[in-house]
Amino acid sequence: FASRGWSDAPIALGGLGAVDVDIKFSFARVLYRDIKTGAGNLTLALKNKVARVTAEELQLYDGRGKGLVTLDGSGAGVTLGTNLTFEGISTLPLLKDAASFDWLSGKGRLTVALGARGGSEAELIQSLNGKADLAMADGAINGINIPQVIRGVTQGRLSGLDRTPAEKTD
């Protein structure tokens, strides 16, 4: 795993137990690589080497969400947990920014429930478990018109399989 960018070096969390903290903060936006959020309200609670970040309100691609991220350094290694839910997300810009994928558009619900445990980045990635789910409504497949392709096949032509920005399938 280290060759793929995940370190085998032990994760140092000694400073996690140095203080107890309870902070509430708001922000207008956050940018991480190409992913952008809107405004949000977060609470960080740190006590006994356990950090809990609660998203009370977070805007993401025209939708809204909330959830919890936990980092537990109280035992051997690190335990991570994430449980987030977003409603009303515009899926085209989210998928484009997160995965350079521009074939689907619509409004969606995104849920993420993941957990991991380990003493290094590589161990965390190896133990990563859970699920992420994106459900869409009122969506479209962008770049291809499937009914047009089917009509062509019934008429003895196989055409329309090339992606064209103006085409889409509702």
Q: Tens digits of per-residue pLDDT, 31-60?
A: 999 999 999 999 999 999 999 999 999 999
pLDDT of residue 2 exceeding 50: no
Phi and psi of 162, rounded to 5°? -75, 140
Q: Which residue in 142, 144, 135 sits closest to 107, CA to CA?
A: 135
- The CA distance from 14 to 73, in Å, is 9
Structure pTM?
0.78
Structure tokens of 99? 């995965």
Q: Tens digits of per-residue pLDDT, 61-105?
A: 999 999 999 999 998 889 999 999 999 999 999 999 999 988 888
Beta-ladder partners of 118: 78
- The CA distance from 165 to 144, in Å, is 8
